[in-house]
Amino acid sequence: MRRSRGCLVAGSAALVMLFLLSAGQEAGSASDSQSRTLRASQGRPAHVKALKSYSRPTPRHAASPEGILLQDLKSGRILYENHADQPMAPASLTKIMSAIVILEEGNLEDQVTVSRRAAAAHKIKLHLKAGQLVPLRGLLQAMLIRSANDACLAAVEHVAGDEESFVAKMNAKASALGLTRTHFQNACGFDMPDHYSTAADLAALTTYAMGKETFAAIVREPAAVIQTADQRKRFIARTTNRLLGAMEGVVGVKTGYTREAGRCLIAVVTREDKELLLVLLNAHQRWGRAQELIELGLQSFEERSGAPSEEATGATATGSSHGERLSPPLDPGVELHGDIPAGEENHHGSSFVIQPGEGG
């Protein structure tokens, strides 16, 4: 009897639960309907759409033009240009100006205490630690050879007290050099709305920088060893410039990369009595483009001396106020094969690999 009463009570409880659940679903359905109506009235989707697979948006630089300038440094003659006066993001090519200010206003024998802010800089970096004491010369080597942002920030803070004051010096120098389409917002090359330069301005800046013996000596080195003042820590800064050691006559200068700027490069080549300067901004095939343009520029010297036919060089010339300019048959599929294996462009020492979007 007791068992039958228990079963009856349990059954009644189950019926009550079913009724409450049913009522709750109806209320929830009505609430959802009201919520959807409200969202629709606010301009939002009135119903839930099926999830779409995530696709990474195309970086803005992919659809942007390449900025190119190829120059005979001895005569100043422009051999080829493309959007050379269009302001574009310069990425770590910015560090060329930073290096100039450091050389002109700093003492390379100074010992620099790495700040917390510098140690926390975004990659590419040496992985300096806050409080470490590093020679300013070593920091300059790291920022030019390795494009290390922690070294860059530590150096500029030491020279000017803070990055903002240092950037003011950079812009003053740009004005003094007549770089009218250049403006900096940071010292290391990160993307910012008012941070830009042009291939033409960067060519003029590099020509000025290469006139400084210390700068020219640093940028031609494939690697440098930087030690802390107490000799307890050693960093190896390996170049990001794959042309060094892979292409005859290359003596620098600097690479750069951000998502906004794309792949950038400034190269100086000397062969016999020839000297070329190449600036590439947002290069779609950086190393192949560079190799092809440099070889084309060197051929232009032979054209002036031996005057081979256009068929022999694959180039045409167009008239301009700068004299004849080459119109190269650029092949975006050409790649440079050299001493540094593909994929090791961003290799730091023997243990760090740079991921996309980290600079250099």
| pLDDT tens per residue, range 62-121 | 567 999 999 999 999 999 999 999 999 999 999 999 999 999 999 999 999 999 999 999
pLDDT of residue 63: 60
Architecture, CATH, for domain 60-336: 3-Layer(aba) Sandwich (3.40)
pLDDT band at 6 (very low <50, low <70, confident <90, very high): very low
| Catalytic residue, candidates 64, 147, 197, 300 | 147
Report which residue type is found at 9. Answer: V
Q: Name the nearest CA neighbour of 132 among 160, 159, 106, 151.
A: 151
Domain map (residue ranges) of the chain: 60-336
- Is pLDDT larger for residue 10 or for residue 166? 166
For the question of residue 22 being annotated catalytic, the response is: no
pLDDT of residue 300: 80
- Is pLDDT larger for residue 148 or for residue 299? 148
Work out the average pLDDT over 243-256. Answer: 96
What is the 8-class DSSP label of residue 121? P
| Catalytic residue, candidates 95, 169, 173, 254 | 95
User: Phi, psi (5° rounding) for residue 231?
Assistant: 65, 10
Q: Taking CA 279 as the corner, what is the angle to CA 163 and CA 212, rounded to the nearest 5 degrees? A: 60
Q: Is 62 exposed, middle or buried (0-12, 13-18, 19+ CB in 10 A)?
A: exposed
Tokens, residue 89: 């993001």
93-119 core/surface letters (b: 16 or more CB in 10 A; e: else)? bbbbbbbbbbbeebeeeeebebbeebb
Work out the average pLDDT over 346-358. Answer: 29
Answer yes or no: is pLDDT of 333 > 80.
Answer: no
pLDDT digits (tens, 9 = 90+) for 140-168: 999 999 999 999 999 999 999 999 999 99
Work out the average pLDDT over 202-227. Answer: 98
For the ranges 12-16, 209-213, 345-349, which has the lowest average pLDDT?
345-349
pLDDT of residue 105: 98
| Catalytic residue, candidates 92, 98, 197, 300 | 92
For the question of residue 300 being annotated catalytic, the response is: no
For the question of residue 95 being annotated catalytic, the response is: yes
Q: Are 217 and 209 in contact (CB under 8 A)?
A: no
For the ranges 77-91, 152-166, 184-198, 293-307, which has the lowest average pLDDT?
293-307
Q: Name the nearest CA neighbour of 83 among 202, 3, 176, 244.
A: 202
Q: Are 256 and 265 in contact (CB under 8 A)?
A: yes
pLDDT of residue 304: 63
pLDDT of residue 34: 40
Work out the average pLDDT over 191-211. Answer: 98
